[in-house]
Amino acid sequence: MQRYGLRVTPWTGLLMVVVAALALASCAERRVQRRDVKEEIDLSGRWNDTDSRLVADEMIKDVLSFPWVQQFKDGHAGKKPVVIPFGVKNRTSEHINTQTFVKDLERSFLRSGAVQVVASRDERESIRAERADQQAGLTANPAAIGKETGADFVLTGVINAINDREGGQEVVFYQTNLELISVVSNEKVWIGDKKIKKFIDRSKTKF
């Protein structure tokens, strides 16, 4: 069958239907909804905000329950221990922003009123550069140059993952370990861990 000089076949009609469907899909309306930040929404099965929050909650509860704070105060005339974040290494194959729960830990230390927190290495470098700029004579009230507060403990850690996959099913096991280490003695005064296990099923195809 020909129409306007074009040969029309059953395949031609099917192709037109597919093209029309793709065109409609491309024009589909996008909707964005505000959701409660504590609501668990897991789309890919990978590390997400819920996992970060679970790690932060567990570590905060655990680190402040250990005796290291009081032991330090008893040995230093009531002085509050000072903690510096060294960062958390991501040894998984995923991109994980570990700063989210590290910042939650820092905030909890400060809220407790029992622990002081000093800037990280990168933050200190930026602050030192700012002080140097202020001392150049272009600032009316330059910050005084003095001795920085030294850290008594280093906060560091690592995230590991184990993947087990068969067909369309996968199990992902995450383990986060954080440690507080004495700068003076290298003694580990706290070790915290949080384990998360996920089962992902991609074997079912829906039409």
Query: What percent of the chain stands above pLDDT 70?
Result: 83
Q: Tell me if the domain spanning 44-137+148-201 has CATH number 3.40.50.
A: yes
- The pTM score is 0.74
Q: What is the CA radius of gyration of the chain?
A: 27
Per the model's pLDDT, the better-predicted residue between 147 and 205 turns out to be: 147
| Residues in Cβ contact with 133 at an 8 Å cutoff, skipping those fewer than 6 apart | 139
The candidate with the shortest Cα–Cα distance to 47, out of 160, 155, 202, is 160
pLDDT level of residue 25 (50, 70, 90 thresholds): low
| Coil, strand or helix at 19 | helix
Residue 168 has what pLDDT? 85
Question: At residue 164, what is the residue type?
Answer: D
Does residue 196 carry a pLDDT above 70? Answer: yes
Domain range summary for the chain, segments of one domain joined by +:
44-137+148-201
Entry field: residues in the chain: 207
In this predicted structure, the answer to whether residue 95 has a pLDDT above a threshold of 60 is yes
